[in-house]
Amino acid sequence: MQFSSEPVVSIQDASIFQDEKTVLANISFSIKKGEFVYVIGRTGSGKSSLLKTLYADLEYPKGTVNVAGFDIPRIKRSEIPYLRRKIGIIFQDFQLLEDRTIAENLYFVLKATGWKNSSEIKQRITDVLIQVGLGFSSGKMPHQLSGGEQQRVVVARALLNEPQLLIADEPTGNLDPEVAESILQLFLDINKSGTAILMATHNYDFLKRHPARVLRIEDDKIIDSHSSSFI
């Protein structure tokens, strides 16, 4: 598969804030299409703030932050939904809706993002569920699925609008090592089909078994494994 050289994420001399406090200062990195990138760092180091900034869920950053063609520091409120449709978000506080089935959870997302044709909607739901290995679970309620299966549905939900980039914050945090490994495998498969992945994790086993580029957050700076200063 051929990828254009234009990056999905491009950050130059940017500072990121949360509650008016500087979390990361003067950071620079970019992510190409189809790239797999881990973000690591201690709890509270600013991983989540970085990821949230990328989908415009935090105060606007300073500097150059470009995501999927959107200029984040100058993005208009009305443009944010269209930015998010180009990104798949897998986040701790973004759980499945417990009051509806898996198919209804996915249907809800498609309706909310402007899908109208019901046969296209059905087809898309079937496609993503097959992609995450849950082809026969569409009628189940979230509580009827295991933790790993629920996480697969969350990934399926993020894939619905064929995003250029998947942003995942601790996607395997609550899962046992075997299930966590299978979820990581799912991310690797999705990545192979051309979607860039930015994953914050504490699971260093992943880094050993599936080496990829690593952004390490330390003292409000980012150390990139692609640059010479990474140890």
Partner 1 sequence: MGDVTKHIRRKKILGNFPFVIVFTSMTLALFVLGVFTFILVHAGQLSQFLEESIEVHVILNKEISESQRAYIETQLNAQPFVLRKDQNVMIKYVSENDAKKDFIKSYGEDFMTVLDENPLHSSFILKLKPEYLHKKSLADIALKISKWDQVKEVYYLEDLADQITKNIRLLTIIFVSFSIVLLIITILLINNTIKLALYSQRFLIRSMQLVGATQFFIQKPFLARAFSQGLISGATASLLLAGVYYYILGMFPDFQALNTPYLPHVIGTLILFGGLLGLFSSLIVINKYLKMSLDELY
Using DSSP bridges, classify how beta strands 213-218 and 221-224 pair: parallel, antiparallel or unpaired: antiparallel
- At residue 184, what is the residue type? L
State the maximum Cα–Cα separation within the chain, in Å, rounded to a whole number.
52
CA distance 186 to 188: 5
**Helix, strand, coil in percent for the chain, rounding step 5:** 35, 25, 35
Part of the chain binding partner 1 (CB under 8 A), chosen from 5-13, 61-69, 72-80, 147-155: 72-80
Part of the chain binding partner 1 (CB under 8 A), chosen from 61-69, 83-91, 130-138, 214-222: 83-91
| Three-state secondary structure call for residue 136 | coil
Part of the chain binding partner 1 (CB under 8 A), chosen from 3-11, 36-44, 112-120, 172-180: 112-120
Answer positive or negative: Cα dihedral of 89, 92, 97, 101.
Answer: positive
If binding is defined by CB under 8 A, does position 179 make contact with partner 1? no
| Window 38 to 57, contacts with partner 1 (CB under 8 A) | 55, 57
Residue number with CB closer to partner 1 (4 or 78): 78
DSSP string, 70-82: EEGGG--GGGHHH
CA distance 211 to 22: 30
What's the min distance (Å) between Cβ of 143 and partner 1? 7
Crossing angle for the helix pair 102-112 and 147-159, nearest 10 degrees? 20
* CB atoms near residue 28 (< 10 Å): 14
| Window 197 to 216, contacts with partner 1 (CB under 8 A) | none
If binding is defined by CB under 8 A, does position 108 make contact with partner 1? yes
| Three-state secondary structure call for residue 135 | coil
Residue number with CB closer to partner 1 (17 or 82): 82
Residue number with CB closer to partner 1 (102 or 223): 102
Residue number with CB closer to partner 1 (113 or 185): 113
Number of residues forming the site for partner 1 (CB under 8 A): 30
| Window 120 to 149, contacts with partner 1 (CB under 8 A) | 141, 143
Part of the chain binding partner 1 (CB under 8 A), chosen from 40-48, 108-116, 177-185, 222-230: 108-116
Residues 168 and 175 sit within 8 Å (Cβ to Cβ): no
If binding is defined by CB under 8 A, does position 89 make contact with partner 1? yes
Residues 85 and 56 sit within 8 Å (Cβ to Cβ): no
Binding site for partner 1 (CB under 8 A): 55, 57, 77-78, 80-85, 89, 91, 93-95, 97-100, 104, 108-109, 112-114, 141, 143, 157, 160-161
